[in-house]
Amino acid sequence: MNYKVIDKERYYRKGVFRHFTEDCKCSSSMTARLDVTELVRYSKRTETKFYINFLYLLSKVLNSRDDYKMAYLWQTEELICYDVINPIQYVFHEDTETCTPVYSTYNEDYQVFYESAIKDVENAKTTREYGLDSENHPNWFDASYISWISYDSLNIELPDGYLHFPPIVNWGKYREENGRFLMPVSVRLNHAIADGYLVANVFRLLDGEILNFVNR
């Protein structure tokens, strides 16, 4: 785990950062329907899991800009940027109706990531422990699939004033509309390090990465 310390006096969002860490501590979130038609077709054609394929592309997008890899060290009051952030996925246990967090490691090599993420899921199925360990996994972001519904909006609330900078991303079931598969995706980022443009840009980048991925 490596990171660089950001000079807050030279930070390109200096004014915004100060305002949303001192005057108005809040987050910015957005839900949009992502066209995943080609990714669904690719997953079926290659007999790979759509969920893992999307998780890979999401991880790739969030590692493509420093803005999405920020964190705040409250002990030293430092603003930092990790070299890489990794996804926390979840396994749902039907019998207990509980979830187990799964710490997966991002790798730009798709095949390496895919095989590793699959193993992570299988290992998590053997336990019912919640097992969340943020202290030893600081550079992980939350990536949660809400498989039971294709929703229209979702809000993740955190305690007022809590400077949680890692992205929180949720997505639901995709559904067919006019011959296309559309999937609700919700992205939450702290307003101190991201505004509407940066939140919306996650969706734009995902659109591009999906096309690049299926046309390899």
Average pLDDT over residues 152-164: 82
> Would you say residue 189 has pLDDT above 80?
yes
- pLDDT value of residue 81: 98
> Would you say residue 190 has pLDDT above 80?
yes
- pLDDT value of residue 157: 78
Q: How far apart are CA 6 and CA 159, in angstroms?
A: 25
Average pLDDT over residues 66-78: 95
CB 82 within 8 A of CB 2: yes
| Length of the chain (residues) | 216
Confidence of residue 59 (pLDDT cuts 50, 70, 90): very high
> Would you say residue 158 has pLDDT above 80?
no
pTM listed for this prediction: 0.96
**E strand or H helix at 55, and its extent?**
helix 50-62
CB 87 within 8 A of CB 120: no
DSSP bridge pairs for 134: none
**Residue 93 is encoded by which pair of tokens?**
């246990």
Q: How far apart are CA 61 and CA 104, in angstroms?
A: 16
Mean of the per-residue pLDDT values for the chain? 95
Q: How far apart are CA 175 and CA 182, in angstroms?
A: 5
Q: How many CB atoms lie within 10 A of CB 84?
A: 16
- pLDDT value of residue 134: 85
> Would you say residue 77 has pLDDT above 90?
yes
Q: Which domains does the chain have, with CATH numbers?
A: 3-214 (3.30.559.10)
Strand 175-177, strand 140-146: pairing: unpaired
CB 90 within 8 A of CB 102: yes
> Would you say residue 160 has pLDDT above 70?
no
**Residue 62 is encoded by which pair of tokens?**
């969030």
> Would you say residue 22 has pLDDT above 90?
yes
CB 49 within 8 A of CB 56: no
Average pLDDT over residues 118-146: 92
Average pLDDT over residues 70-92: 95
**Residue 41 is encoded by which pair of tokens?**
């077709």
> Would you say residue 161 has pLDDT above 80?
no
CB 170 within 8 A of CB 157: no
